[in-house]
């Protein structure tokens, strides 16, 4: 049955609509011009109508989050949803798979991308993605410390690298290219790390700079929908904003008509000045200026939330540092020729000066970077649960709310960050960009993030009028964003009045660019490399038919 969302106030920046009273029609899962008969009608009079939200970076599936769940049985005491006819859902920072789908839907989100899977274990990642209801999803395999990638980068052999990227994306049913601390995770296999873009990686002689630029070149020549997506070197360390700025500048030599050529993720964790934990400060202002100036770079926030989190990343050397700093339990794993992973539970404390600097730095980025260039994220579960996005959006929209929340933070932020002096307030249109339009463009998902004809029938309706609200009344904004009146996925009502009412199954996007290159180029190398793996080449990767609802994207 078709659906009509009637008399809502539509904010759809991609199509130039910023608060117009109009009707939205959905048929066969897509937005259409009009439907005349057999239409179910939702009354949205005076309410905000927007496209479904998109999370471009959340660790929602795979061996990291599952190992995290096993490490933290205490998480399972938090009941998020009794079954009520659907499935039960539990977890505080480490949600079960059903809880992930439900919690996204409960805030009006309909798409999320897992940004880091080891290719060797990708079958596990897809099993979990297939267990997450409602939302569309995708996963990005990790490339930045892979032996083949470092070898081809050292040889400057972009043709082989392209062939390898295409081979991996097909084998993993992956969506794009992720780099985490390029070179540093390999160095960690020898107990080390890399500290600048020009440190040599042990055994390969290649530098992070060469790995990054080679992968950008390969991604651009293959014209993948999504750009290279990077977690920079030196994450978490005081003074790291300089490495981040240098990394951002690497995008300068490349161009793409439709999107950025480098997406720099959870920048808050890579935006610190200072030389130690005693004089750490925010470099957000300088980073924001640079990002706003360089056309071909986008970022996401990586906003920490005061309270519990579970950090998990392929950045093994950083996880070891954090384990020592936080005196918390720690898990580490080396993943053969490819990558690694570590997990450390963490609590962000408002009374802690460093944590407060982190909190303020994320918000500075959210306020200072153009809404066309930044997406809201917590780097779930590293900065905290993703269902705090309404809280983050409200902080960005209301100076009064920020002032209230800043009172809870450590006063050191007045010295170390510019947050207290920023009066700017994001508009609803800005927030729609940061949660819909920008992530859709960053990911190259053309049918998402807007409500034009042919777009996915993913819509959220909120109890707020974008033409008539008061930013000082932050309680009302927060309440509206936390409890959508409706979330609609592919034309089905999945959330009503803030609770899940039905379950649909989204698609898993993956990218097939095998026609742009040939595997023959790397055939002999692959044969050689599989001598060193614990699996045979025949058993490596996943077949498309194993996925519940795959959507193959051919690159343009």
Residues that bind Zn ion (CB under 5 A): 379
Nearer to Zn ion, 210 or 379 (CB): 379
Tell me whether residue 42 or residue 312 sits nearer to Zn ion (CB atom).
312
- Which residues, other chains included, contact 529 with Cβ-Cβ below 8 Å and sequence gap of 6+? 147, 148, 337
Nearer to Zn ion, 148 or 181 (CB): 181
Tokens 């066309």, located at residue: 372
Q: Which is nearer to Zn ion, 105 or 235 (CB)?
A: 235
User: 36: which DSSP letter?
Assistant: -
**C-alpha span between 354 and 287 (Å, rounded):** 19
Nearest to 174 by CA among 383, 342, 338, 374: 338
Q: Which is nearer to Zn ion, 364 or 379 (CB)?
A: 379
Please count the other Cβ atoms lying within 10 Å of the Cβ belonging to residue 403: 11
From the CB of 114, what's the least distance to Zn ion, in Å? Answer: 9
**Closer to Zn ion at the Cβ: 379 or 429?**
379
Q: What is the nearest approach in angstroms of Zn ion to the Cβ of residue 231?
A: 6
Smallest separation, CB 498 to Zn ion (Å): 28
Q: What angle do CA 235, 236, 237 make, to 5 degrees?
A: 95
Closer Cβ to Zn ion, 64 or 162, answer by number = 64
The residue whose Cβ lies closest to Zn ion is 379
Q: How far is the CB of 304 from Zn ion (least distance, A)?
A: 13
Q: Which of 419, 427, 503 is CA-nearest to residue 132?
A: 503
Q: What angle do CA 458, 462, 467 make, to 5 degrees?
A: 115
C-beta closer to Zn ion: residue 235 or 477: 235
- In whole angstroms, what is the distance from residue 449 CA to residue 447 CA? 7
Least distance to Zn ion from the beta carbon of 459, Å?
28
Which string of DSSP letters, residue by residue, matches 167-206? HHHHHHT--S-EEESTTHHHHHTTT----STTPPPTTT--
CB nearer to Zn ion: give 80 or 263. 263
Shortest distance (Å) from residue 357 CB to Zn ion: 20
* Nearest-approach distance from CB 369 to Zn ion, in angstroms: 18
C-beta closer to Zn ion: residue 379 or 430: 379
Treating both helix axes as pointing N-terminal to C-terminal, what angle do 353-368 and 284-293 enclose, rounded to 10 degrees? 20
CB of 266 to Zn ion, least distance (A): 6
How wide is the angle at C-alpha 196 spanned by C-alphas 190 and 202, nearest 5°? 25
Q: Which H or E run includes 408? A: helix 399-408
CA 432 to chain centre: 16
Query: What is the C-alpha to C-alpha distance for residues 356 and 345, in angstroms, rounded to an integer?
Result: 18
Distance from CA of residue 299 to its chain's centroid? 10
At a CB cut-off of 8 Å and minimum separation 6, what does 326 contact?
Answer: 344, 345, 346
Q: For the CB of residue 236, give the shortest distance to Zn ion in the complex, in Å.
A: 12
- Judged by beta carbon, residue 148 or residue 311, the one nearer Zn ion is 311
State the minimum distance, in angstroms, from the CB of residue 299 to Zn ion: 13
Alpha carbons 285 and 369: distance in angstroms, whole number: 9
Cα separation, 353 vs 307, whole angstroms = 14
Contact present, 252 and 202 (Cβ < 8 Å): no
Shortest Cβ distance from residue 265 to Zn ion (Å)? 6
């Amino acid at each position: 049955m078709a659906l009509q969302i009637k008399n809502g106030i539509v904010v759809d920046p991609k199509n130039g609509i910023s608060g117009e009273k109009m009707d939205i029609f959905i048929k066969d899962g897509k937005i259409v011009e009009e439907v005349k008969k057999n239409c179910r009608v939702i009354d949205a009079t005076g309410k905000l109508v927007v496209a479904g939200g998109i999370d471009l970076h959340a660790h929602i599936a795979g061996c990291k989050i599952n190992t995290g769940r096993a490490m933290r049985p205490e998480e399972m005491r938090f009941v998020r949803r009794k079954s009520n006819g659907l499935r039960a859902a539990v977890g505080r920072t480490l949600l079960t798979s059903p809880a992930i789908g439900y919690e996204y839907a409960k805030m009006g989100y309909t798409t999320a991308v897992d940004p880091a899977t080891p290719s060797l274990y990708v079958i596990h990642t897809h099993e979990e993605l297939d267990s997450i209801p409602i939302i569309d999803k995708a996963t990005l395999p990790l490339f930045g410390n892979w032996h083949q990638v470092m070898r081809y980068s050292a040889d400057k052999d972009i043709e082989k690298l392209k062939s390898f990227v295409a081979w991996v994306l097909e084998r993993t049913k992956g969506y794009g290219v992720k780099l985490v601390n390029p070179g540093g995770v390999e160095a960690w296999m020898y107990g080390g790390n890399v500290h600048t873009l020009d440190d040599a990686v042990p055994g390969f002689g290649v530098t992070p700079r060469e790995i990054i630029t080679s992968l950008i070149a390969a991604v651009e020549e293959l014209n993948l929908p999504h750009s290279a997506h990077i977690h920079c070197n030196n994450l978490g360390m005081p003074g790291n904003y300089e490495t981040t700025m240098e990394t951002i500048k690497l995008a300068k030599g490349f161009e793409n008509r439709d999107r950025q050529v480098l997406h720099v993720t959870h920048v808050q964790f890579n935006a610190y000045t200072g030389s130690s934990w005693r004089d750490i400060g925010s470099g957000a202002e300088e980073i924001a200026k640079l990002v706003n100036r360089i056309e071909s770079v986008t970022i996401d926030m990586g906003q920490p939330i005061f309270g519990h989190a579970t950090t998990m990343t392929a950045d093994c050397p950083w996880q070891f540092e954090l384990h020592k700093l936080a005196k918390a339990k720690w898990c580490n794993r080396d993943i053969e020729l490819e990558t690694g992973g570590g997990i450390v539970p963490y609590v962000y404390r408002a009374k802690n000066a460093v944590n407060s600097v982190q909190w303020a730095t994320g918000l500075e980025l959210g306020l200072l970077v153009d809404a066309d260039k930044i997406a809201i994220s917590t780097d779930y579960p590293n900065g905290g649960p993703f269902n705090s996005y309404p809280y983050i959006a409200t902080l960005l929209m209301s100076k009064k709310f920020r002032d209230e929340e800043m009172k809870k933070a450590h006063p050191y932020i007045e010295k170390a960050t510019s947050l207290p002096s920023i009066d700017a307030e994001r508009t609803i249109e800005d927030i729609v960009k940061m949660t819909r339009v920008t992530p859709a463009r960053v990911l190259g998902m053309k049918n998402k993030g807007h409500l034009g004809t042919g777009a996915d029938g993913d819509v959220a309706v909120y109890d707020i009028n974008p033409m008539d609200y008061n930013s000082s009344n932050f309680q009302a904004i927060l309440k509206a964003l936390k409890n959508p009146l409706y979330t609609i996925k592919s034309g089905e009502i999945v959330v009503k009045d803030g609770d899940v009412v039905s379950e649909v199954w989204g698609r898993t996007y993956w990218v097939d660019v095998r026609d742009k290159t040939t595997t023959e180029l790397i055939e002999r190398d692959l044969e050689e490399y599989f001598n060193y793996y614990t699996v045979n080449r025949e058993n490596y990767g996943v077949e498309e038919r194993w996925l519940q609802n795959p959507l193959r994207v051919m690159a343009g």
